[in-house]
Amino acid sequence: EVQLVESGGGLVQPGRSLRLSCIASGFTFGDYGMSWFRQAPGKGLEWVGFIRSKAYGGTTEYAASVKGRFTISRDDSKSIAYLQMNSLKTEDTAVYYCTRVGWGGVGWFTDCWGQGTLVTVSS
């Protein structure tokens, strides 16, 4: 069974940093891209960023709202994806979800979600 388990969320002051982890199991982690999405309280879904699998260069893409502050990385030996969040702002408060992203010749598409971890940025 495919499982994605996020951790690392919590309460953090504006301007500080936080690192989220996403531990994957039930599939060959290195074969897939991984993405992070977020959902502010009572709002819709927002894409945060994406990291390709090593076979496709392991490169990253980011939403403009987080580019330069957030960094996605991966450790294929441990089946973990990370979201390093620096210079946090109150508007980054949200539930953060990691997802598995597959390539099927039809673009990179999300097919599995973690349960989410809440990040609250407040003084």
Partner 1 sequence: DIQMTQSPSSLSAFVGDRVTITCRASQGISNYLAWFQQKPGKAPKSLIYAASSLQSGVPSKFSGSGSGTDFTLTISSLQPEDFATYYCQQYNSYPWTFGQGTKVEIK
Which residue ranges make up the site for partner 1 (CB under 8 A)? 35, 37, 44-47, 50, 61, 63-64, 97, 104, 106-116
CB of 35 to partner 1, least distance (A): 8
Query: Closer CB to partner 1, residue 56 or residue 109?
Result: 109
Residues 6 or more apart from 49 whose CB is under 8 A from it?
35, 36, 60, 61, 62, 63, 66, 70, 72, 83
Instruction: Enter the tokens of residue 63.
Output: 């939403």
Closest CA to 36 of 18, 57, 16: 18
CB of 16 to partner 1, least distance (A): 25
CB of 62 to partner 1, least distance (A): 8
